[in-house]
């Protein structure tokens, strides 16, 4: 478990050469370390201060801007000092070493965000949003994760939780105070409110598929026999010359990939070696890798130049069957599911992209919508939904068992509490923060 009683330091910008780099210090000794580093008596909160930075031998390391954030008005909720210095890796290393000599220690991955969590600045949903925002590959996902980090998603979950608590309070009153039979109007009120909650949870649960795609992306593998135009298809889709194209069979030996955004979702298209038996050890390894990639694929583009191609009825993976070189056999009739293209004549790409969207169920992304983006969130929402589903059966029964219904509603609340991190085990919490970079 990460400690929160000491002072930590880390570069908040990526390693490399740049005009400006940021070093972040957080903890009880932040300002004292800053005073020793600059030889200044104090810092005005939220006001950038220009100052020289000195090492332990009073040599100037750099001239930088320092901004102090006084607890609790900082990202971590602690006293925090941010140093904007020149982005030279050697200079940054000297600064961090000096800061550690003055009383700080190097931060662990995600430790700044972890401190924000334990100090009540953010909840676990927002922390996951921070990680997703850093790694987002599309503008749509960036906007969605900004809504998560700002607390919009948390507010929606909190509203659902309050509705369940209100239902539970009504039941508790009936069990503890009321000595009369259950009012029929109460029974109907429970049914109506519970149905609305169950519908809302179902919508959230259904959002995980798209949220997962936005976060992790999709692997689309291009496969088929040698010399049917797989590499040409990769170039056709990407609009580049990423893959080498040759009439000689077996040109592609290793994997070649291109990542594109389609409907705001990152999709990696992977060109593979032509699948055939070969005595050439290099080509044989290429075929082995091609088959492995096919197993890992979310979607397979099975390419052929055979105009009489008949698709398999039950492929192992979602598969689109493509006949290339349609300009050479335009009059040939084939099975309806087959997509005809001509990489050479640049024909059929629109139809292919449309089929990819339909197969992967890609829909227009609305930045104000809420999407579950991690398996942990999905498990919690499904657990809550399952508890409400069991409660629904109880509500519909003629003899309403208030104690059992109350138990299911409490289980639903516990599931939502785990979303915020209130009932989440420490090992899971640590794993979430370890996915963040060191300076965050």
CATH of the domain at 85: 3.30.1360.120
What would the mean pLDDT of 139-168 be, rounded to a whole number?
A: 90
356 and 224 in a common domain:
yes
Out of 238-242, 279-283, 414-418, the most confident range is: 414-418
66 and 48 in a common domain:
yes
Question: Mind spelling out the 3-state secondary structure of 297-364?
Answer: CCEEEEEECCCCCCCCCCCCCCEEEEECCHHHCCCCCCCCCCEECECCCCECHHHHHHHHHHHHCCCC
Residue 135 is assigned to a structural domain of this protein: yes
Range of the domain at 100: 8-122
Q: What would the pLDDT profile of 98-133 be if each residue is shown by its tens digit?
A: 999 999 999 998 999 999 999 999 999 999 999 888
- Asked if the model's pLDDT at residue 52 lies above 80, the reply is yes
245 and 354 in a common domain:
yes
**Helix or strand or coil: residue 23?**
strand
Which residue did the predictor score with more confidence, 278 or 296?
A: 296
266 and 325 in a common domain:
yes
135 and 110 in a common domain:
no
Confidence of residue 35 (pLDDT cuts 50, 70, 90): very high
Round to whole Å and give the CA distance between 62 and 82: 14
- Asked if the model's pLDDT at residue 336 lies above 80, the reply is no
Round to whole Å and give the CA distance between 109 and 39: 30
273 and 166 in a common domain:
no
Confidence of residue 250 (pLDDT cuts 50, 70, 90): very low
- Asked if the model's pLDDT at residue 255 lies above 80, the reply is no
378 and 345 in a common domain:
no
323, 340, 360: which is the final residue of a domain? Answer: 360
Other CB atoms within 10 A of residue 33 CB: 22
Chain centre to alpha carbon of residue 131: 7
Q: What is the pLDDT of residue 276?
A: 53
Residue 84 is assigned to a structural domain of this protein: yes
Which residue did the predictor score with more confidence, 304 or 8?
A: 8
Q: What is the pLDDT of residue 289?
A: 72
- Asked if the model's pLDDT at residue 251 lies above 50, the reply is no
- Asked if the model's pLDDT at residue 345 lies above 50, the reply is yes
Residue 390 is assigned to a structural domain of this protein: yes
Q: What is the pLDDT of residue 185?
A: 66
Q: What would the pLDDT profile of 19-33 be if each residue is shown by its tens digit?
A: 999 999 999 999 999
Residue 345 is assigned to a structural domain of this protein: yes
Q: What is the pLDDT of residue 370?
A: 80
303 and 185 in a common domain:
no
Q: What would the pLDDT profile of 167-182 be if each residue is shown by its tens digit?
A: 888 777 766 665 556 6
CATH of the domain at 271: 3.40.50.300
Query: How many separate domains does the chain show?
Result: 3
Q: What is the pLDDT of residue 50?
A: 95
CATH of the domain at 196: 1.20.120.430
- Asked if the model's pLDDT at residue 206 lies above 70, the reply is yes
- Average pLDDT for the chain: 84
Q: What would the pLDDT profile of 62-71 be if each residue is shown by its tens digit?
A: 999 999 999 9
Residue 406 is assigned to a structural domain of this protein: yes
87, 122, 157: which is the final residue of a domain? Answer: 122
Round to whole Å and give the CA distance between 331 and 322: 16
398 and 337 in a common domain:
no
Q: What is the pLDDT of residue 247?
A: 52
Q: What is the pLDDT of residue 278?
A: 55
104, 122, 140: which is the final residue of a domain? Answer: 122
404 and 289 in a common domain:
no
Stretch (H or E) spanning 289: helix 281-296
**Helix or strand or coil: residue 273?**
coil
Instruction: Quote the percentage of the chain above a pLDDT of 90.
Output: 40
Residue 272 is assigned to a structural domain of this protein: yes
Residue 433 is assigned to a structural domain of this protein: no
Q: What would the pLDDT profile of 99-108 be if each residue is shown by its tens digit?
A: 999 999 999 9
Least confident residue range of 59-63, 111-115, 302-306: 302-306
Which residue did the predictor score with more confidence, 112 or 328?
A: 112
Which residue did the predictor score with more confidence, 255 or 223?
A: 223
Residue 366 is assigned to a structural domain of this protein: no
Residue in the block written with tokens 């583009």: 301
- Asked if the model's pLDDT at residue 284 lies above 80, the reply is no
Q: What is the pLDDT of residue 138?
A: 84
Residue in the block written with tokens 């005009």: 19
416 and 310 in a common domain:
no
Q: What would the pLDDT profile of 375-408 be if each residue is shown by its tens digit?
A: 999 999 999 999 999 988 888 877 777 788 889 9
Confidence of residue 246 (pLDDT cuts 50, 70, 90): very low
- Asked if the model's pLDDT at residue 137 lies above 90, the reply is no
**Helix or strand or coil: residue 117?**
helix
201 and 138 in a common domain:
yes
């Amino acid at each position: 478990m990460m400690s929160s009683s000491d002072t930590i330091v880390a570069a908040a910008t990526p390693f490399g050469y740049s005009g400006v780099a940021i070093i972040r210090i957080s903890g009880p000794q932040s300002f004292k370390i800053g005073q020793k580093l600059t030889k200044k008596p104090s810092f005005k909160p939220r006001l950038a201060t220009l100052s020289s930075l000195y090492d332990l031998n009073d040599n100037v390391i750099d001239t930088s801007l320092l901004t102090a954030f006084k607890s609790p008005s900082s990202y971590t909720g602690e006293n925090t000092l941010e140093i904007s210095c020149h982005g030279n890796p050697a200079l940054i290393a000297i600064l961090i070493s000096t800061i550690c000599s003055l009383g700080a220690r190097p931060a662990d991955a995600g430790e700044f965000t972890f401190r924000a969590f334990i100090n009540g600045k953010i909840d676990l949903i927002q922390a996951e949003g921070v990680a997703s925002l850093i790694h987002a590959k599309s503008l749509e996902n960036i906007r969605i994760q900004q809504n998560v980090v700002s607390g919009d998603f948390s507010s929606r979950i909190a509203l659902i939780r309050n509705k369940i608590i209100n239902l539970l309070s009504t039941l508790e009153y009936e069990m503890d105070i009321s000595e009369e039979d259950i009012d029929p109007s109460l029974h109907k009120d429970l049914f109506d409110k519970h149905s609305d909650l169950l519908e809302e949870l179902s919508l959230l649960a259904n959002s995980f598929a798209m949220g997962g795609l936005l976060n992790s992306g999709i692997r689309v593998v291009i496969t088929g026999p040698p010399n049917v135009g797989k590499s040409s298809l990769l170039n056709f889709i990407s609009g580049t010359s990423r893959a080498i194209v040759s009439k000689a069979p077996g040109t592609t030996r290793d994997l070649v990939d291109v990542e594109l955004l389609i409907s705001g979702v990152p999709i990696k298209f992977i060109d593979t070696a032509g699948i055939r038996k070969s005595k050439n050890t290099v080509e044989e390894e290429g075929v082995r890798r091609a088959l492995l990639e096919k197993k890992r694929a979310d979607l397979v583009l099975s390419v052929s130049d055979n105009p009489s191609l008949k698709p398999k009825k039950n492929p192992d993976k979602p598969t689109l069957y493509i006949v290339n070189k349609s300009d050479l056999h335009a009059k040939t009739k084939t099975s309806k599911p087959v997509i005809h293209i001509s990489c050479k004549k640049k024909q059929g790409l629109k139809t292919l992209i449309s089929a990819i969207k339909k197969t992967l169920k890609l829909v227009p992304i609305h930045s104000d919508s809420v999407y579950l983006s991690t398996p942990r969130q999905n498990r919690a929402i499904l657990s809550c939904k399952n508890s409400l589903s069991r409660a629904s059966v109880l509500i519909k029964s003629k003899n309403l068992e208030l104690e059992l219904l109350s138990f299911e509603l409490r289980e639903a609340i516990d599931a939502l509490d785990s979303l915020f991190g209130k009932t989440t085990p420490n090992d899971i919490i640590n794993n979430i923060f370890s996915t963040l970079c060191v300076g965050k």
